[in-house]
Amino acid sequence: MARHLRSCLPHKEHEKNQKLLNFPPSDANVDSEFGKSQILIGPNAIYDANKMREAIANWLLCTEQPFKTVEDDMYVKMMKTANPLFEKVCRVTATSDCFKVYEHEKKKLKALTKVASEICLTTDCWKSSHQKIEYMVITGHFIDQNWRLQKRVLSFMHVPPPRTGFDIAECIYKCLKEWEIEDKIFTISAYNATYNDRAVKRLKEIFSRWWNMHKLKYRVLSMMARDVLAIPISTVAYEATFSVGGRVIDPYRASLAPDTVQMLSCGGDWIRHLHRVKKKLKASLLRARGEDCRDCGLWHMMLFV
* Residue 305 covered by a domain: no
Its domain, for residue 238, covers 107-296
Residue pair 225/234 in contact (Cβ under 8 Å)? The answer is no
What pLDDT was estimated at residue 58?
95
pLDDT digits (tens, 9 = 90+) for 130-186: 888 889 889 888 888 888 888 899 999 998 887 788 888 888 999 999 999 988 888
pLDDT digits (tens, 9 = 90+) for 226-269: 445 433 333 343 555 656 667 788 777 778 888 998 999 899 98
Q: How far is CA 209 from CA 1, 173, 226, 303, in A?
A: 82, 13, 11, 15
* Residue 233 covered by a domain: yes
* Residue 186 covered by a domain: yes
Buried residues in 151-184 as b, exposed as e (16+ CB within 10 A): ebbbbbbbbeeebebebbbbbbbebbeebebbeb
What pLDDT was estimated at residue 148?
83
Structural domains counted in the chain: 1
Question: Sign of torsion, CA 130 131 136 140?
Answer: negative
Residue pair 238/139 in contact (Cβ under 8 Å)? The answer is yes
Residue pair 84/101 in contact (Cβ under 8 Å)? The answer is no
Residue pair 159/191 in contact (Cβ under 8 Å)? The answer is no
Residue pair 244/265 in contact (Cβ under 8 Å)? The answer is yes
* Residue 226 covered by a domain: yes
* Residue 75 covered by a domain: no
* Residue 285 covered by a domain: yes
pTM over 0.75: no
What pLDDT was estimated at residue 302?
42
Identify which has the larger pLDDT, 236 or 270. Answer: 270
* Residue 281 covered by a domain: yes
* Residue 267 covered by a domain: yes
